[in-house]
Chains A and B, each alone.
Chain A
Amino acid sequence: MAMRSVLESLNQGLLRAFTAIPSVYLLGEDVLDPYGGAFKVTRGLSSAFPQRVLTTPISEAGITGLAAGMALRGLRPVVEVMFGDFITLIADQVLNHLAKFRWMYNEQVTVPVVIRTPMGGRRGYGPTHSQTLEKHFIGMPGLHVIAPAAIGDPGDLLYQAIHKTRDPLLFIENKLLYLLPLQSEEQADFTIETLPGADKPAWNGLPESTFPTPCYRLRVRGAPPATVTLAAYGYMAHIAQQAMLELALEHELFCELIVPTRLAPVAAGEIRASVARTQRLLVLEEGTRALGWGAEVLAQVAEAPGAGLRAAARLAALDLPVPASGALEALVLPGAPEVIAAALKLAEKQTLSI
């Protein structure tokens, strides 16, 4: 069987949702065939389901509000925001409308809206088309934030989200994931275990939308027990894997990598469990450091009774906009060399300067 890419998997997940669920609609800019969306995730959809794929004006807030109204009236809309950088434009709709309605209206309504958006840099798109902004949407009661990696089946995750969610859900697709092949449990260099994932009770008693949001544990195949835990999601997990191989082969530092797909409500249970074994945690993210996902994960791990944390660090983007020039972008966004250096430092291994 040919290896599927993340893009193909997501595209198939969407097609499957449209085929199986007549109430699914998609709203987004430039989503019609033959173009099929700026990143082609929606390719083929409008040909197969012309009535339910709506190409929209450039009105991110408007179409997100529309989706909320559609969801309140029994449909299951999917919104594509062309670049993740523009989720700031939907912030009021998400925070003060979609994520509020179910609770504020005393559970009398549901708002099953999935908002998908390509996020992240490393493609030279410059300061307003390369950001990683999901941290601003973590900690909004009522909003799920999910991010696939090139592990497992991102398309199935998307399908489950569209099919099962009862709450608004932000689905973050790192752009560099799209062309990566999916990794499976038979992956040559790594063992990949699928953990149950979310351990986090719902916000204030709201029942969780009931679909699995798996968490993955990766180890270098045949390596001795890990002494450092890496935690990363999305494309940073891919970078972490590159670093893990080199750390194992060149430095004899063995890590295990925990890759959650659920970012909010923050689920740090599997990371905590790993840290209980390794006592060292390095959290990786492509967004800027302050008040980020990593900060929250670290806080949750540290707060747990008997955390046993001996050393912890965060590796994130520099607190700068993302430059267009590849030469500068590589300095601002964390890559495998930075992960390696940070892991060695954490493990107090001697290292040459990077």
Chain B
Amino acid sequence: MIRRNCSPMTEANHSQHRYRALYRIRRFEETVLEKFPTGVFFGTTHTYLGQEANAVGVLECLQQGDIVFSNHRCHGHFLAYGGDARALFAELMGRATGVCAGKGGSQHLQWKNFYSNGVQGGIAPVAVGMALAEKFKGSPAVTVVFLGDGTLGEGVLYEALNLASLWRAPLLFVLENNRIAQTTPLELALAGAIAARFQAFGIPCTELDTSDVEPINAAAQELLGRVRSGDGPQALLLHTQRFGPHSKGDDTRTPQEIENLKRQRDPLPIQAARLTPEWIAQIQAEVDAEISAAFQQALADPFPTAEAL
């Protein structure tokens, strides 16, 4: 986890760190999709390809003790939080060394103050409760919860928005609108405006339509500042693009459509433009080696045994 507030990084350093964080998620997820057909992973997966700048931009603002609640598309959030690639691979492979020793799998992670669950919407009130608990305990910790556009269809989310605002929970809602839920485009699932949903509960909503990690980070920094100073919950609506399938092999969009998205909205070239080619090459080589080693180590890790039950 990069902590802007804690590290006296130069601008160049900073850009490198961010590129590394973005590229790390990219390589991890590409490896997942590439290796899935070989049968090394259990269940399914939801990759974060295309959305990397959201996790990196937002979670860079975290301070010690802050909490993250993530959803089914949690790999990117976990890695940006500082999670270990080997432990995540191992979790997907159902190994004893996995984040949750193979009990949770791709969507159910818990490490330090990071949590994820794969039931749409249900995590929202849980995150509100966490934020309130920290407030009641007098701790300075704030909570960030990630939600997708499709999850706006779940009723319990609106109970959570109401409660969060009513009791001024120190919480940032991050709504990643990739305009699709599994195969259903936003137009077939959503009436009205997304920002207005938050605003109706008195939760200010900042909206961004970019794949550039810098403005995302700046917005998150600003909003988390407000959350920390006791202004109550805030919402960050990030319009974004999913490059990969919903899980695997289930993309109903045309290849042409996806190619267009990649050309226009890839966070990596945007961030790479801030680095020298040498740095890009070096970071890529280091991360490639890290991810490949993590994969191989996880593959050699033992499966859990009956005692784990």
Q: Are A69 and B166 neighbours in the complex by a CB distance under 8 Å?
A: no
Cα–Cα distance between A205 and B166 once the two chains are bound (Å) = 40
Cα–Cα distance between A68 and B103 once the two chains are bound (Å) = 20
Cα–Cα distance between A269 and B50 once the two chains are bound (Å) = 56
State whether A69 and B309 are in contact (beta carbons under 8 Å apart), knowing that A56-B163, A61-B156 are contacts in the complex: no
* Residues of chain B with a CB closer than 8 A to A64's CB: 125
A64-85: CB near B (< 8 Å → 1, else 0) gives 1111111111110100000000
Q: Are B119 and A72 neighbours in the complex by a CB distance under 8 Å?
A: no
Ranked nearest first, the 7 interchain pairs of A and B with the lowest CB-CB distance are: A69-B129, A65-B125, A62-B159, A105-B110, A73-B133, A66-B129, A69-B130
Which B residues are within 8 Å of any A CB, using their own CB? 67, 100-101, 103-104, 108, 110-111, 115, 117, 119, 122-134, 136-137, 155-156, 159-160, 162-163, 166-167, 307-309
How far apart are B111's CB and chain A's nearest CB, in angstroms?
8
* Residues of chain A with a CB closer than 8 A to B163's CB: 56-57, 59, 62-63, 66
Which A residues are within 8 Å of any B CB, using their own CB? 25, 54, 56-57, 59, 61-75, 77, 92-93, 96-97, 100-101, 103-106, 108-109, 204-205
The binding surface of chain A is classed by DSSP as: helix
Cα–Cα distance between A293 and B117 once the two chains are bound (Å) = 30
How far apart are B95's CB and chain A's nearest CB, in angstroms?
12
State whether A69 and B110 are in contact (beta carbons under 8 Å apart), knowing that A62-B159, A74-B137, A96-B119 are contacts in the complex: no
Subset of 21 A-B contacts with CB under 8 Å: A57-B163, A62-B128, A62-B163, A65-B126, A65-B160, A66-B125, A66-B126, A66-B160, A69-B125, A70-B133, A72-B133, A73-B133, A92-B122, A92-B156, A96-B117, A96-B122, A100-B108, A100-B117, A105-B115, A106-B110, A108-B110
Q: Given A59, A63, A74, which contacts B133 in the complex, CB threshold below 8 Å?
A: A74
Cα–Cα distance between A63 and B125 once the two chains are bound (Å) = 7
Q: Given A59, A65, A70, A71, which contacts B122 in the complex, CB threshold below 8 Å?
A: A65
Cα–Cα distance between A105 and B129 once the two chains are bound (Å) = 18
State whether A61 and B130 are in contact (beta carbons under 8 Å apart), knowing that A72-B115, A104-B103 are contacts in the complex: no
State whether A67 and B162 are in contact (beta carbons under 8 Å apart), knowing that A62-B156, A92-B122, A104-B104 are contacts in the complex: no
Residue of A54, A70, A74 most packed against chain B (CB within 10 A): A70
Q: Given B129, B134, B160, B309, which contacts A204 in the complex, CB threshold below 8 Å?
A: B309
